[in-house]
Amino acid sequence: MAIMTTTSSLTYLPVLERIAEEISRTPGRGRPADYIPALAACDPRSFGMAVAELDGTVYGVGDWRRPFSAQSITKVFTLALDLAREGDALWEHVGREPSGNPFNSLVQLEHENGIPRNPFINAGALVVTDRLQTRTGDAAGELLAFLRAESGNRALDFDREVAASEAAHGDRNAALAHFMASYGNIDNDVPVLLDQYFRQCSVAASCADLALATGFLARHGIRADGGRLLSRSQAKQVNAIMLTCGTYDAAGDFAYRVGLPGKSGVGGGIIAVVPGRCTLCVWSPGLDERGNSVAGVAALDWFTTLTGLSVF
């Protein structure tokens, strides 16, 4: 049975319920991120999904209210917060091209003089966090305040256990930061930057929280309170980078299957944007070999198939 809808009669809840039913039949769900011990114990069969409309109405199924570790999803918000402050000057320090390499790779940095390929690989996210830290004095705190305001959930917070776990296993990120610092592309002391970055990635939020917090990208830069964070052009830029770089070195396959700007995290979450319509967040902690949620990608594929909504 197909559930193809029109934009004027779109009802999200039946679509989400259909997706949850299909996902429940999926035998393989991948494996949680075992290199971050605090995430390794997650049940890969957990599943939640939420859709937020432009006015803040939110629908969900499964574990859509259950907080999980946002991880790299937060890179979208720090990018937006820094881009709002310094504009195009940011792009002198980080590129906008897909990497084609794992998200924590050191390989390209030496060939490209310490300039990361894009803001969503770890090196690029470290640069963005560093620049936001320089401008605010507390990049992680700025991020948390933004997420609380946009989601309407004042209880959102960092997960200290996850942050400590990442810090204890963060040698690769430390190497990336020191290497870029040697090229003059990091302003702050590396230990300060790493503390900010690990706290940023440790934010615990639900599908509902993150779908709502992403709404400014569907509203072309307008925040939940009606204020403008990004220009329409800047919002387009962030969405474009999400489409081409948001799912590590699987971005081409994600665009092919889903057809929406998206950003994944190794906690099992993925956010996605339908510009001018709605935002989504799906969570299931079982990952594929590239670090993306197996059930999450499948659920978003189902969503665009059933609704006909995509950017193509």
The yes-or-no answer on residue 197 being catalytic is yes
Neighbouring residues of 159: CB distance < 8 A, sequence distance ≥ 6:
38, 69, 202, 203, 204
Neighbours of 183 (CB within 10 A): 13
Name the 3-class secondary structure at 45. coil
CA–CA separation, 166 and 125 (whole Å): 15
**Choosing from 46, 72, 105, 165, which is the catalytic residue?**
72
The yes-or-no answer on residue 12 being catalytic is no
Residue-wise DSSP of 215-284: HHHHTTTB-TTS-BSS-HHHHHHHHHHHHHHTTGGGHHHHHHHT-S-EEE-TTSEEEEEETTTEEEEEE-
The yes-or-no answer on residue 248 being catalytic is yes
**Choosing from 58, 127, 258, 266, which is the catalytic residue?**
266
**Choosing from 51, 59, 75, 264, which is the catalytic residue?**
75
The yes-or-no answer on residue 75 being catalytic is yes
The yes-or-no answer on residue 266 being catalytic is yes
Distances (CA, A) of 218 to 63, 198, 223: 23, 27, 10
**Choosing from 105, 203, 238, 248, which is the catalytic residue?**
248
**Choosing from 15, 197, 263, 284, which is the catalytic residue?**
197
Which residues form the catalytic set?
72, 75, 197, 248, 266
